């Protein structure tokens, strides 16, 4: 196997890049070392930004064949690619020729296309959330009954009509947010932090290789 294909190389790069970001949080380094680490972090951000071009290329590779073959809903693929190319071009930071994020065309795309689509997506998600809540609020067990009661109280707390009909709903809802909800959130955060630490240790030690060749050795 050629030396540049050895799996140890990307593992070593991952470890070095991770340590460059971790070490300054725990150890005070000299000015030269800190400057080097700052530059390395900037390079990492630049590489991460380059991933956007990889995403754009992936979109082209997925949607271009649909347009060529006139597959189902190929018009939407064409619209996606055209708008993506237009947004990239007019958003380039070349102010000498009138381009940039304050460009009128770029602002029009954001205000009249992206923002309404974003709002529509969240509006659609609201129906799925309502459906999931309906299924979850069936009191088939003690836990489901508690969830039903707590959810109903929070619904009344957030609705003006609910606080008018049940004056104590606001105070009880605030208590649910401050005490039980906060306790659960802390447990989730602690569990997630421990999981992230374990994943980081496995990655730094070379045992976690899911990001390499689909997890191959």
Residue 206's nearest CA partner among 10, 1, 3, 6 is 10
Residue 71 located in a structural domain: no
pLDDT score for 213: 61
> Which structural domain range is residue 149 located in?
137-217
What is the full DSSP assignment across 105-126?
A: HHHHHIIIIIHHHHHHHHHHHH
The verdict on residue 158 lying in a domain is: yes
Q: Are 213 and 6 in contact (CB under 8 A)?
A: no
Alpha-carbon span 69 to 66, nearest angstrom: 5
In a domain, 167, yes or no: yes
Predicted confidence at residue 190, as pLDDT, reads 96
* pLDDT one digit per residue (tens) for the chain, 217 residues: 566 667 778 888 888 878 877 887 788 777 877 788 778 878 878 888 888 888 889 999 999 999 999 988 899 999 999 988 988 888 888 888 888 888 888 889 888 988 898 888 888 887 787 777 777 666 677 777 787 788 778 777 877 777 777 777 788 888 888 888 899 999 999 999 999 999 888 888 878 777 776 545 4
Does the residue 28 lie in any domain? Answer: no
pLDDT of amino acid 164: 72
Q: What is the pLDDT of residue 20?
A: 78
Q: Return d(Cα 123, Cα 63) in angstroms, integer.
A: 26
Predicted confidence at residue 82, as pLDDT, reads 92
Number of domains the chain is built from:
1
Residue 162 lies in a domain: yes
The predicted model scores a pTM of 0.54
Can you give the pLDDT at residue 62?
A: 92
3-class DSSP state of 27:
coil
In a domain, 185, yes or no: yes
Question: Can you give the pLDDT at residue 186?
Answer: 94
**Is 147 a domain residue?**
yes
**CB of 178 closer than 8 Å to CB of 172:** no
Report if residue 65 sits inside a domain: no
Say what the pLDDT of residue 136 is. Answer: 66
30 DSSP assignment: P
């Amino acid at each position: 196997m050629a030396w540049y294909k050895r799996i140890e190389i990307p593992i070593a790069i991952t470890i070095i890049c991770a340590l460059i970001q971790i070490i300054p949080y725990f150890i005070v380094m000299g000015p030269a070392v800190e400057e080097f680490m700052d530059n390395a972090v900037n390079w990492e951000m630049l590489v991460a930004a380059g991933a956007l071009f990889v995403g754009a290329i992936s979109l082209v590779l997925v949607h271009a064949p649909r347009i060529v073959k006139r597959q189902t809903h190929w018009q939407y693929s064409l619209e996606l690619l055209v708008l993506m190319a237009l947004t990239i071009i007019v958003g380039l930071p070349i102010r000498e020729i009138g381009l940039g994020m304050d460009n009128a065309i770029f602002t029009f795309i954001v205000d009249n296309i992206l923002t309404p689509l974003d709002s529509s997506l969240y509006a659609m998600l609201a129906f799925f959330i309502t459906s999931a809540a309906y299924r979850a609020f069936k009191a088939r067990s003690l836990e489901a009954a508690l969830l039903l009661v707590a959810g109903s109280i929070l619904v009344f707390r957030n609705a003006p009509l609910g606080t008018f009909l049940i004056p104590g709903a606001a105070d009880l809802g605030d208590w649910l947010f401050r005490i039980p909800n906060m306790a659960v959130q802390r447990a989730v955060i602690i569990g997630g932090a421990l999981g992230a630490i374990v994943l980081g240790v496995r990655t730094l030690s070379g045992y976690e290789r899911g990001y390499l060749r689909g997890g191959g050795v």
